[in-house]
Chain A
Amino acid sequence: MILPMVVAAKSLNKRYRDVVAVAALDFEVEKGQCYGLVGPNGAGKTTTMKMVYCIVTPTSGSLRVFDMEVSLQPRKIKARLGVVPQENNLDPDLTVCQNLMTHASYFGLSRDVARSRCQELLGFVQLSERSDSRVPDISGGMKRRLVLARSLINNPDLLILDEPTTGLDPQVRHLIWDRLLELKDRGITLLLTTHYMEEAQKLCDRVLIMDQANAVDMGSPAGLVRKHVPPYVLELRVERRLIQKIQERFRHLGHQMSGQNVYFYGNSQDEFEEIVAAYPDTERIMRPASLEDVFLKLTGREIRQ
């Protein structure tokens, strides 16, 4: 027997008047997986997520969550979801604990169940001591942890996280990663978007790269790196006047430009020897290729509006 997918999208489309936000998207998320959507701003990641949690209606195509169609059974689907939206939409007039209690009430949880869940979850995100603080009085990192705790109040089977760690300090980011991996170990399926390729590489089993409403490629982080870029990268920071000269001289080596940086790609570090010899005093970094290189290769290094 084939287990139904937690999320299954087939030629999924979303149009807002004349703007195509998501075009002919196909993807499947297996139970227990951490699935990442990455792509430049405006690629359609958030719209895709919002269709999964049923607050944006697909224009056409099929989107099934827990084997139910989103447009037909949103209430049943949402009862099993946890959502961490891009913006912290906490209740500023309520305390930390009251925020969780109120959210629990939307799921119809009894006060006793909600209270014990509330204590447990505040411990999980290390906020127990701030239980009675008002939301405006806690830090940005605490707010993000509170939103994570809130998303878990109903013991969800699928957790949706829209840029869970954007703008957070490294300590909080590591704490959140740690907690997400723990949730994954418990069998919870994770669907997340991120702008940090390090985060995608660390957390995700599968990554879908989106650009301008379309899927560009999909695979495991390591698989995508193998497929799209050679294993080694040499980053060279050079003066502008030298850029063209270098480009011409090392035309035979695969390279990309970004501002004052030239990125060379090679199958071994030896391939870079002649460059290093030619420009010994230039600032440079040699490193293994990463998902970030794949991302920039597939979606371009230029900044787009």
Chain B
Amino acid sequence: MKAGILAVTPAFFRVWRRNSQVYVALLKFNILPSLAEPVLFITVFGLGIGSYITEIEGVPYIEFVAAGILGSAAIMQATFECTYGSFFRMSIQGTFESIISTPVSASEVGLGEISWGASRGFVNSSLVLIILFFLGILDRWQVMFIPLLMFVAAFNFAAIAVLVTSRIAQMEYFRFYFAGFILPAQFLCGTFFPVSRFPEAVQVIAWTIPFTSVIDIARTLMLGRPADFALFLEGAWVFISTLIFTELAVRSMHKRLVR
């Protein structure tokens, strides 16, 4: 049995559709709670702390931090969906086993989950984008590329999450993942202040995490800064790492499900 992205057919979308159906059935539980964190971030960092730090890198703090809040909304949503959500479907509900007993393959379950997690991150960050728009923070046309960028960022984190999910025996291991990777990623990657403020060693770590590049690209677009070659490299890193993690996650999920 072949595994990996190349063995995937469009049947992966059936897994996406199954998840979206459950999402719609539980809509009232899904939309509002996932907006709580970004709204809190806007209030605390943008308006609260923003009243002390009036300017950073030459722009009002709220405009600076907007890219971080958007990115955070995308990756956190994707991460929750593809850690606890996927694990629950995999190990507790037996959903994956029921799916792979049909013509849908284990690799397709893997990609279906990742693309679903990416979609949730996309929806969540898009809602935050609308809130930011009404707060009058967004006024450049480049902003229209943000949702696509956030989709890729969410895809990246969904893939890493599925990779982790497919490897762990019990849910409690996610605590290590959140404490050791997600929380640092959320705060180290230039989300709330520039990466350049860190000691060199921390900067190196931060730049290896693709999320730092995502935030930097988003900020460049939102603030209308000129793009340079470094930005292109950052985009390439986000894209390539997403591909790599997706391939690893899909193969690992196959290994977990087909024994």
Which residues of A does B touch, CB under 8 Å? 16, 53-57, 71, 74-76, 78-79, 81, 83, 85, 87, 89-94, 98, 102-103, 105-108, 154
Contact = CB atoms under 8 A, between A and B. Distances in A.
A78 B97 contact: no
Contact of B103 (A78, A87, A90): A78
Contacts of A92: 93
Contacts of A54: 1, 258
B102 A89 contact: no
B259 A107 contact: no
A93 B26 contact: yes
Nearest to B13: A105
A16 B22 CA distance: 35
B94 A87 contact: yes
A105 B22 contact: no
Contacts of B17: 105
Contact of B94 (A56, A74, A85): A85
B18 to A, nearest CB: 5
A75 B9 CA distance: 11
A57 B242 CA distance: 29
Nearest to A105: B14
B130 to A, nearest CB: 27
Given A75-B105, A91-B93, A93-B25, A85 B98 contact: yes
Given A89-B97, A106-B103, A55 B21 contact: no
Interface residues of B, number: 25
A87 B101 CA distance: 13
A53 B103 CA distance: 10
B12 to A, nearest CB: 11
Most B CB atoms within 10 A — which of A56, A83, A91, A103?
Answer: A91
B103 A75 contact: yes
Given A55-B100, A78-B101, A105 B1 contact: no
Contacts of B101: 53, 55, 78, 81, 83, 85
Contact of B258 (A56, A75, A83, A89): A56
Most B CB atoms within 10 A — which of A74, A89, A93, A106?
Answer: A106
Given A91-B95, A98-B21, A106 B259 contact: no
B5 interface: no
Given A105-B14, A106-B104, A89 B25 contact: no
* Shortest beta-carbon contacts, A-B, top 7: A89-B94, A106-B102, A83-B101, A89-B98, A93-B22, A79-B103, A75-B103
23 contacts: A16-B259, A53-B101, A55-B97, A55-B101, A56-B259, A74-B1, A75-B103, A78-B103, A79-B103, A81-B101, A85-B98, A85-B101, A89-B93, A89-B95, A90-B98, A91-B93, A103-B98, A103-B102, A105-B14, A105-B18, A106-B11, A106-B104, A108-B14
Given A74-B1, A87-B94, A89-B95, A55 B102 contact: no
Contacts of A56: 258-259
Nearest to A160: B101
Contacts of A83: 101
Contacts of A78: 101-103
Contacts of B95: 89, 91
A208 B18 CA distance: 38
A98 B199 CA distance: 54
A26 B71 CA distance: 57
B257 interface: yes
Given A85-B98, A105-B18, 20 more contacts: A54-B258, A55-B100, A55-B106, A56-B258, A57-B258, A57-B259, A71-B1, A78-B101, A81-B101, A85-B94, A89-B97, A91-B22, A92-B93, A93-B22, A94-B25, A106-B99, A106-B102, A106-B103, A107-B103, A108-B103
Nearest to A151: B101
Interface string B3-28: 00000000100100110011001100
A54 B11 CA distance: 17
Given A56-B259, A57-B1, A107 B100 contact: no
Contacts of A81: 101
Interface string B64-105: 000000000000000000000000000001110111111111
Nearest to A153: B102
